[in-house]
Structure 1
Amino acid sequence: MQALVLDGINQPLQLRDVPPPSAGPGELLVQVHAAALNHRDVWIQKGQYAGLRFPCILGSDGAGLVSAVGEGVSADWLGQKVLINPGHNWGENPRAQGKAFTIVGLPEQGTFAEYLRVPAQYVHPMPPHLTFAQAAALPLAGVTAYRAVFTRAGLQANERVLVTGIGGGVALLAMQMAVARGAQVWVTSGSEEKIARAVALGAQGGINYKTEGWAMALAKEAGGPFDVIVDSAAGPAFAQLVDVAAAGGRIVFYGGTLGAIPQLPPAKIFWKQLSILGSTMGTEQDFAELLALVTEHQLKPVVDEVLPLDEGESAMRRMDNGQQFGKIVLQIMAQ
Structure 2
Amino acid sequence: MTMHDMMKAARLHAFGGPDVLIYEDAPRPDPQPGEVRVRVRAAGLNPPDWYLRDGYRALPPEWRPDAAFPLILGTDVSGVVEAVGDGVDRFRAGDAVYAMVRFPENVMTGSGAYAEYVTVPASQLARKPAGIDHVHAAAAPMSLLTAWQFLIELGHDEPNPFQPFRHAPVPLEGRTVLINGAGGGVGHLAVQLAKWRGARVITVASPKNAPLMRELGVDRFIDYRTTAVEESVRDADLVLDAVGGANMERFLRVIKPGGALFLVNPLGFAGQAAAAARGVHVSSTQVRSNGAQLAEAARLLDDGTLRIVIDSTFPLAEASRAHRRAESGAIQGKIVLTVA
Structure-1-length-normalised TM-score: 0.85
Corresponding position of 2:137: 135
Measured against aligned partners, the alpha-carbon deviations of 1:240-279 in whole angstroms (never above 9, x if no partner) come to 21011022211101115xx62345663xx34542110112
Which residue of the other structure, out of 3, 12, 16, is the alignment partner of 1:6?
A: 12
How many angstroms does 1:183 deviate by? 1.3
Q: Give 1:1-335 correspondences, 5 Å limit.
A: 1-11=7-17, 12=19, 13-48=21-56, 50-53=64-67, 54-74=69-89, 77-87=92-102, 102-103=105-106, 106-107=108-109, 109-151=111-153, 152-189=168-205, 191-211=206-226, 213-217=228-232, 219=233, 225-256=235-266, 260-263=268-271, 266=274, 269-270=275-276, 272-282=278-288, 284=290, 286-295=293-302, 298-333=305-340
SS in 2 for 1:74: coil
Say if 1:86 and 1:143 are closer, same or farther in 2 by CA, change over 3 A: same
Tell whether the 8 Å contact from 1:83 to 1:135 is kept in structure 2 after alignment. Answer: yes
- Runs of 4 or more consecutive aligned structure 1 residues displaced over 6 Å after TM superposition: none
Say if 1:66 and 1:235 are closer, same or farther in 2 by CA, change over 3 A: closer
Tell whether the 8 Å contact from 2:99 to 2:125 is kept in structure 1 after alignment. Answer: yes
How many angstroms does 1:305 deviate by? 0.9
Say if 1:212 and 1:64 are closer, same or farther in 2 by CA, change over 3 A: closer
Report the Cα distance in structure 2 between the residues aligned to 1:288 and 1:159, rounded to whole angstroms.
27
Measured against aligned partners, the alpha-carbon deviations of 1:149-183 in whole angstroms (never above 9, x if no partner) come to 22333242121111101221011111111112221
Say if 1:290 and 1:280 are closer, same or farther in 2 by CA, change over 3 A: farther
Report the Cα distance in structure 2 between the residues aligned to 1:32 and 1:235, rounded to whole angstroms.
34
Greater alpha carbon shift after TM alignment, 128-137 vs 19-28: 19-28
- Unmatched runs of 5 consecutive residues or more in structure 2: 1-6, 154-167
Give, as a single letter, the amino acid of the residue that structure 2 aligns with 1:196: P
How many angstroms does 1:42 deviate by? 0.9
Report the Cα distance in structure 2 between the residues aligned to 1:25 and 1:308, rounded to whole angstroms.
31
Structure-2-length-normalised TM-score: 0.83
Tell whether the 8 Å contact from 1:2 to 1:114 is kept in structure 2 after alignment. Answer: yes
Say if 1:41 and 1:76 are closer, same or farther in 2 by CA, change over 3 A: closer
Give, as a single letter, the amino acid of the residue that structure 2 aligns with 1:330: L
SS in 1 for 2:120: strand
Say if 1:212 and 1:265 are closer, same or farther in 2 by CA, change over 3 A: farther
- Unmatched runs of 5 consecutive residues or more in structure 1: 89-100
Measured against aligned partners, the alpha-carbon deviations of 1:157-213 in whole angstroms (never above 9, x if no partner) come to 121111101221011111111112221111112x21113322222212221223353
Q: How many residues align?
A: 310
What's the Cα RMSD here?
2.3
Say if 1:118 and 1:234 are closer, same or farther in 2 by CA, change over 3 A: closer
How many angstroms does 1:30 deviate by? 0.3
